[in-house]
Chain A
């Protein structure tokens, strides 16, 4: 690759680095429309998202400019992951805003030789990154060939070659790749370079597949698939590959239709994809063959040895051995509820602070630790990675109390608002992937395979949402902290649990495998007697950050 990894001049302050350049598309327009508001949001997401994300990926924020920033990383893989997480999270944040207020970054990543000053970096490597950024679509990421060579086998994503480009003021042409948010854009792309690595090693995937899809919270599936790969794969290793394909191919049709017209890498208008899908996802289970037909070479499913931290948008937290795995959920606001049932009205805007929530429902193995500590009743049966069930709200509360006490951390049940916010992951429709039920997405009655009428699937068997949560649609219904109220009249808007002492019934979210698809909707609510166990009821923990 031209423009990279060449210089080794001893003694000079030079080094090889992955450079990430980003700027906001339409910055002047945004500032023109609402200067103070834009600036406030810009500062906020810089503080809450950009800086922490760069840090999490072992990068350094070199400098910020009016409408962008420059960061450097030791690892090109981390740089691209960081770029993807930023794009995903920004898209999720944009979901709650009208399109004219969206802040969208264009990002370029290059691997090259740079001269490092304490507060800036220079050199062709930086210039190329900046040029790539310029060429990127809003919400998109372009990488140079040098970066591509480093990450192609490690990062589960699609890469579309844009060929060699002669960049302004750069001597040699640079090969450019677009990091593809979802397979749908691949289908549309004319020239594709698909790396199609089999997931033979799928069984051990705990890989961080970056859920790029958040880029398109409503429609894109790339990230979900990739995020799900690790999970679906290790559950049924024999057919791991097929699963990966089928899970990707289903949603793909949605994104293909809904995202049509949108440049790849660009979040579509939030409202559109959910409501007018010309090609709905059919609830018919695809045969592996069909799946392969629709998604033949579109997926670069690459087993990666990466840490779970890299999965989805939220990074993972595990506070102790045996503690449930958590994902970090960024703060934001969302429209809670729906018009489908009186209990879900009125729809209202709810602000949620950043928090962590269980990636999966609490498992049998996790519950048993609490039993062993004599802090929880021994009422749960099943295999280790089955979701723990047959729990009352009081049982669930006992578990989180024990976890909080034994770790010294603020474990608790999620509030109902937090649960829905995390389950939606930026989406506004019935399900996080769109309006229609689809196979491999939910564990409910009549929702397609896999399904067992007698018990829920093991945790993580299905595609996880853009925040990295698995099993938010069906499986075990999950207790939240809130008392039952028949509707949202008078509900808090700050994401807190709505409780009063001694309430007889508490809220359950997500529906169970015994309920039909309507109960698996993001907004669906159920309740049950606080002190009564039922075999389809479990829990998911939350923790304040």
Chain B
């Protein structure tokens, strides 16, 4: 896993606790993550071929999952990136749209129904304000192939249907 894990700005993590969540600009200091924390996708596996809707299970080691807005150190929440090619801006809250799905309630799995074809999945852990940690906790990108349903019309594209 290319989880680049360094940096131990504990002081900043503490400071971040005093920030009012959100509404900030990019001037906020990033929240520090433990150097040994790892975020990863438990399921599906890289290269897997799947038919129909499927679950995605989120893995996190050496940190805790909490809801967004909680500034307790060493905790965060998941964001699932579907078919996202662009780099993540470390200073901005992670976007929310059909390709950046937020799990601010502290969810650790979801269900996706993607159109047939190749897709990539990637997890990013966000802090209380949906910003990436420093260092960024981002999973390895998993590529899967969704097969067309047997004898049926292809499902409509919507990650929304979870």
| Interface residues in chain A, defined as those with a beta carbon under 8 Å from any beta carbon in chain B | 341-343, 345, 378-382, 389-390, 453-455, 484, 486-487, 504, 512, 514-516, 519, 526-529, 531-536
Contacts and interface: CB of A to CB of B under 8 A. Distances in A.
Contact of B102 (A454, A504, A528): A528
B105 A531 contact: yes
Given A341-B158, A534-B68, A535-B130, A529 B23 contact: no
B20 A527 contact: no
B146 to A, nearest CB: 15
B154 to A, nearest CB: 11
A283 to B, nearest CB: 19
Interface of B: 20-26, 67-69, 92-93, 95-98, 102-105, 129-130, 156-158, 160-162
B21 A390 contact: yes
Given A390-B23, A529-B102, 5 more contacts: A378-B20, A390-B21, A514-B97, A526-B96, A535-B129
Given A341-B158, A526-B96, A532 B25 contact: no
Contact of A532 (B67, B95, B157): B67
Given A454-B26, A533-B68, A533-B69, A379 B20 contact: yes
A380 B21 CA distance: 9
B158 A532 contact: no
A532 B93 contact: no
Please indicate which of the listed interface residues B92, B157, B158 has the most CB atoms of chain A within 10 Å of its own CB.
Answer: B158
Given A519-B97, A529-B104, A486 B160 contact: yes
B20 A534 contact: no
Contacts of B102: 528-529, 532, 534
A390 B21 CA distance: 8
18 contacts: A342-B157, A343-B158, A378-B20, A379-B21, A379-B22, A380-B23, A389-B22, A487-B158, A514-B96, A514-B97, A528-B96, A529-B104, A532-B104, A533-B68, A534-B22, A535-B23, A535-B24, A536-B93
Contacts of B157: 341-342
Given A341-B158, A529-B104, A531-B67, A515 B22 contact: no
Contact of A536 (B68, B96, B161): B96
Contacts of A379: 20-23
A504 B92 CA distance: 25
Contacts of B22: 379, 381, 389-390, 533-535
Contacts of A531: 67, 105
